[in-house]
DNA sequence: ACGTAAAGTTAATAATTTATTAAGAAATGA
DNA sequence: TCATTTCTTAATAAATTATTAACTTTACGT
């Protein structure tokens, strides 16, 4: 499982189905939209890693949709690939201006689509890894800048809180015992009281306004997706 | 004994018999169905690990059946393999969309069937083992997330109940004496009263709504499959 | 069918674990 | 150094979980 969410936007149902099938077969989690408005609201909901956007659409075209996405704090980091008919020269220019990350020219061969997409995702993942960024659905953690980004805003956490959160989020859904947390976040030689973790957890919950950090009484804590 | 339950669905009795025989010979527990409706109700009853589904069937074809299964909370995790005639191209598309896990093209050679099936089961088992999940017929126990999953829903149990259930389920059908239970779940140094186990057992039965935990009077308890 | 020992049930209570708060110590930075 | 932030602790509150005890029901051997 590739485990990437892809939003596919085109006004032609045939293309939607055809490309959607090919992406699903490759293991992507695909959401479909047939116009720009739906695309934006679906994007807000599903937080895709990548949006494939047809340029030529009635009402709100790809360029406009793309620009709108780039303006949206929650979505502006999303990768965008344009689908464009060969010869639509103008759109390339306008498209890059609007903030596209790549282009694919119609007619589209599935193999080309797949390889371009996997390339762009790989590239962006590599870039993230290099920058030490971990992207969750509800926020991302930038270990390089030492900030948590939620809804497009930087949230600054003190070191212990940041490290504790990073640790829990490094393996979503898995329960970590207090001992595991201590030995990773504090180190084996440091001895601090039991309540220390609770207090940090409390502050993280407060600052991030999330209910994802669950307490498993008698066991430990987990970051739940 | 492979100890896997396989549901085989095809409208042609000959194929059913032929493949069924070959699977049984390999040690699979095989159930047969000759149409989509039977398949679904039998699947609900027997909770197979894997469903082998012919694509071309009258009334309710494989695609539809598969989609229905994926919609059913009780069955949606079940592995599905399609049987498809060579050249039925369209079905591959629709099939993957409906959520198949693999394909086998007719005409089917028993050796191919067996090896594909054992591969897919092995793969899924490896994935589960890695995640520390124990799958029983009526529910699974996820020790990593510390939840019991029944009919697609997470059920949260307090620690003692979770551990007691895990212990009993770790060796289905074997009777554990109260002493064995105490020394494993509580530890040898803790001394608690006789009724304590009963109360925990009662709560597990209540929360999971299962009748699988059997009392062997004068001996102990067992988790029966 | 009866008596008895084992198991089930229930509610009260004990014990444990976590959350919260405020305050002081330690570290950091201007 | 002083001010500020971060970390830890301690005390206490709150919540959850575990156990007990009293009583009822069930199952088994005779």
- The DSSP annotation for A56-124 comes to --SSS-HHHHHHHHHH-TTTTTSEEEEEEETT-HHHHHHHHHHT-SEEEEESPPHHHHHHHHHHHHHHH
Cβ of A86 near strand D (under 7 Å)? The reply is no
Q: Please classify residue B190 by burial: count the beta carbons closer than 10 Å to its beta carbon, then call 0-12 exposed, 13-18 middle and 19+ buried.
A: exposed
> Measured on CA atoms in the order B161, B164, B168, B169, is the torsion positive or negative?
positive
Residue whose C-alpha is closest to residue A57's, from A84, A96, A23: A84
Mean pLDDT, residues B219-224 taken together: 95
Mean pLDDT, residues A7-19 taken together: 91
For residue B2, CA distances in Å to A203, A206, B30, B111, B117 come to 50, 50, 11, 16, 12
Q: Which two tokens stand for residue B38?
A: 């039977």
Q: Please classify residue B59 by burial: count the beta carbons closer than 10 Å to its beta carbon, then call 0-12 exposed, 13-18 middle and 19+ buried.
A: exposed
pLDDT of residue A69: 92
B20 or A72, higher pLDDT: B20
CA distance B26 to B32: 16
B223 or B84, higher pLDDT: B223
pTM above 0.85, yes or no: no
Work out the percent of chain B whose per-residue pLDDT is above 90.
Answer: 62
The fold of B5-131 is Rossmann fold (3.40.50)
Which residues have C-beta within 8 Å of that of residue B64, sequence separation ≥ 6?
B36, B98
Select the residue from A216, A217, A221, A223 to test the B interface by mutation, using most B Cβ atoms within 10 A: A216
Angle at the Cα of B57 from the Cα atoms of B55 and B63, rounded to 5 degrees:
40
pLDDT at residue A91 greater than cutoff 60 = no
pLDDT of residue A190: 85
Looking at domain A136-223, its CATH architecture is: Orthogonal Bundle (1.10)
Tell me whether B127 touches chain A (CB under 8 Å). Answer: no
CA distance A50 to A81: 8
Residues B61-82 pLDDT 10s:
888 899 899 888 788 889 999 8
Q: Tell me the CA–C1' distance in angstroms for A179 and C27.
A: 25
Mean pLDDT, residues A147-162 taken together: 92
Asked if the Cβ–Cβ distance from A219 to B93 is below 8 Å, we say no
Cβ of A127 near strand D (under 7 Å)? The reply is no
Q: Edge-to-edge strand order for the sheet containing B29-33? A: B29-33, B5-9, B50-54, B79-85, B102-106
pLDDT at residue B157 greater than cutoff 80 = yes
Nearest to A21 among B97, B145, B146 (CB): B97
Q: Tell me the CA–C1' distance in angstroms for B208 and D23.
A: 26
CB B160 within 8 A of CB B211: no
Measure B44 CA to nearest chain A CA, in Å: 26
Closest nucleotide to B215, Cα to C1'? C7
pLDDT of residue A88: 61
Confidence of residue B150 (pLDDT cuts 50, 70, 90): very high
Cβ of B202 near strand D (under 7 Å)? The reply is no
CA distance B167 to A85: 62
Residues B118-132 pLDDT 10s:
988 988 888 888 788
Angle at the Cα of A70 from the Cα atoms of A142 and A211, rounded to 5 degrees:
45
Cβ of A201 near strand C (under 7 Å)? The reply is yes
Q: Tell me the CA–C1' distance in angstroms for A209 and D12.
A: 25
pLDDT at residue A1 greater than cutoff 80 = no
Closest nucleotide to B218, Cα to C1'? C6
Q: Which two tokens stand for residue B122?
A: 């092995």
Asked if the Cβ–Cβ distance from B159 to A20 is below 8 Å, we say no
CA dihedral (B62, B63, B67, B70) in degrees, to 10, reads 60
Asked if the Cβ–Cβ distance from B97 to A24 is below 8 Å, we say yes
CA distance A29 to B70: 15
Sorted by where each begins, the domain ranges of chain B are 5-131, 136-223
CA distance A81 to A52: 5
Mean pLDDT, residues B101-114 taken together: 85
pLDDT of residue B1: 61
Closest nucleotide to B157, Cα to C1'? D17
Angle at the Cα of A30 from the Cα atoms of A27 and A31, rounded to 5 degrees:
170
Collapsing DSSP states into helix, strand and coil, what is residue A39?
Answer: helix
Catalogue the E-assigned strands of A119-188: 133-135, 140-142, 147-150, 153-155, 176-177
CB < 8 Å to A20, chain B: 97
CA distance B105 to B90: 13
Give a three-class secondary structure readout of A73-88: CCCCCCEEEEEEECCC
| CA nearest to nucleotide C21 C1': residue | A199
Identify the helix (H) or strand (E) that includes residue B50. strand B50-54
């Amino acid at each position: 499982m590739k485990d990437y969410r892809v939003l596919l936007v085109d006004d032609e149902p045939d293309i939607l189905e055809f490309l959607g099938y090919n992406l699903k077969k490759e293991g992507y989690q695909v959401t479909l939209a047939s116009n720009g408005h739906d695309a934006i609201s679906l994007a807000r909901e599903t937080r895709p890693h990548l949006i494939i956007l047809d340029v030529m659409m009635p009402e709100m075209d790809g360029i406009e949709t793309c620009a709108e996405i780039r303006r949206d704090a929650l979505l502006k980091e999303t990768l965008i690939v344009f689908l464009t008919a060969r010869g639509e020269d103008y759109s390339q220019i306008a498209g890059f201006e609007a903030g596209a990350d790549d282009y694919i020219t119609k007619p589209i061969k599935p193999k080309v689509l797949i390889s371009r997409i996997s390339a762009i995702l790989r590239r962006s993942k590599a870039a993230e890894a290099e920058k030490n960024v971990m992207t969750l659905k509800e926020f991302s953690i930038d270990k390089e800048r030492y900030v948590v980004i939620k809804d497009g805003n930087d949230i600054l956490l003190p070191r212990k809180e940041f490290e504790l959160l990073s640790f829990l989020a490094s393996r979503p859904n898995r329960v970590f015992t207090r001992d595991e947390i201590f030995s990773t976040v504090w180190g084996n030689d440091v001895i601090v009281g039991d309540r220390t973790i609770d207090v940090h957890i409390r502050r993280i919950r407060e600052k991030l306004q999330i209910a994802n950090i669950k307490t498993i009484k008698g066991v430990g804590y987990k970051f739940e997706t």
